[in-house]
Amino acid sequence: MNLMMDSNQAAKQHSLMGSEAASERTLYPYVTGSSVVALKYKDGILMAADMGGSYGSTLRYKSVERVKPVGKHSLLGASGEISDFQEILRYLDELILYDNMWDDGNSFGPKEVHSYLTRVMYNRRNKFDPLWNALVLGGVKNGQKYLGMVSMIGVNFEDNHVTTGFGNHLARPILRDEWHENLSYEDGVKLLEKCMRVLLYRDRSAINKLQIAKITEEGVTISPPYALKTFWGFSAFGNPTAGAEGSW
């Protein structure tokens, strides 16, 4: 009898241990992307991100697309865990499909998508199972430009230019100095390239392979991957960063 009770207790304990193991949370991100930089320009929104995927401190993947269209009016960029970004894209595909099934002539704009993402990120944070991403959401609907971001714990805001990751420290000061409302497309691209070049010089997780996307009333255009012109011939003596973008 005692043996039977002991075996039953052992089975119950094993079952409890299995259920606890099944509910473990991801404590650290594995494959991550670096900064996203976005701004409003005269006709819409411009967004830039490189294509690196870091496995720890190793730049393991070099063709990771981190800027994606969402529905008809929105553009999403993400830094952080790549698999969590893929999960968010799956959520958004279901949301857009559900919206389209109504067939009522209306569609979600960037403001609605941004609000949805803030709820998703905050909800997952409250479950102690966060999605390890910082998201940038931009778009144009009915002539209104919209640009916002949301962090992995649901902190969110709108602005004329937003960044994630090291971009908050290295690119945002440049945008504060040089951004203005009437930026042309060409000047907006140059400003984004300047920010991405500074990030390339100073962020070890950045790579020189990037995409720039734009969204206007006409739709979304994402550039093919390309590389920036850089200069690494700094003096071996004195200040090795003298003359580099972002140096002081």
Are 61 and 105 a contacting pair, CB within 8 Å? Answer: no
For position 17, what pLDDT does the model report? 47
Q: If we measure between CA atoms, which residue out of 159, 153, 109 comes closest to residue 131?
A: 153
Q: Give the Cβ contact number of residue 151 at 10 Å.
A: 18
Structure tokens at 204: 């070890």
The token pair at 94 is 């279901």
Residue 241's pLDDT is 63
Half-sphere exposure of 15 (CA within 13 A, CB side): 6
Per-residue buried b or exposed e for 46-55, using 16+ beta carbons within 10 Å of the residue's own CB: bbbbbbbbbe
Active site residues: 26
Q: Is the dihedral of CA 237, 242, 243, 245 positive or negative?
A: positive
Q: What would the pLDDT profile of 171-224 be if each residue is shown by its tens digit? A: 999 999 999 999 999 999 999 999 999 999 999 999 999 999 999 999 999 999
DSSP 29-50: -SEEE--EEEEEETTEEEEEEE
Confidence of residue 235 (pLDDT cuts 50, 70, 90): low
Q: Domains in the chain, please, with CATH?
A: 31-222 (3.60.20.10)
CA separation for the pair 183, 236 (Å, rounded) = 38
pLDDT of residue 146: 97
Other C-beta atoms closer than 10 Å to the C-beta of 16 total 10
- pLDDT score at 1: 44
pLDDT tens per residue across span 85-134: 999 999 999 999 999 999 888 889 999 999 999 999 999 999 999 999 99
- The owner of tokens 């529905």 is 71
Nearest Cα residue to 161 out of 69, 5, 36, 57: 36
Determine the pLDDT at residue 106.
87
**DSSP single-letter state for residue 17:** H
Residue 135 to residue 138: CA distance in whole angstroms: 10
Total residues found in the chain within this entry: 248
- Mind listing the pLDDT tens digit for each residue in 15-72? 544 444 555 666 788 899 999 999 999 999 999 999 999 998 899 999 999 999 999 9
Is the model's pLDDT at 153 over the cut of 80?
yes
What local confidence, expressed as pLDDT, does residue 2 receive? 46
Tell me which H or E stretch contains 156. Answer: strand 156-158
Contact between residue 82 and residue 33 where contact means Cβ atoms under 8 Å apart: yes
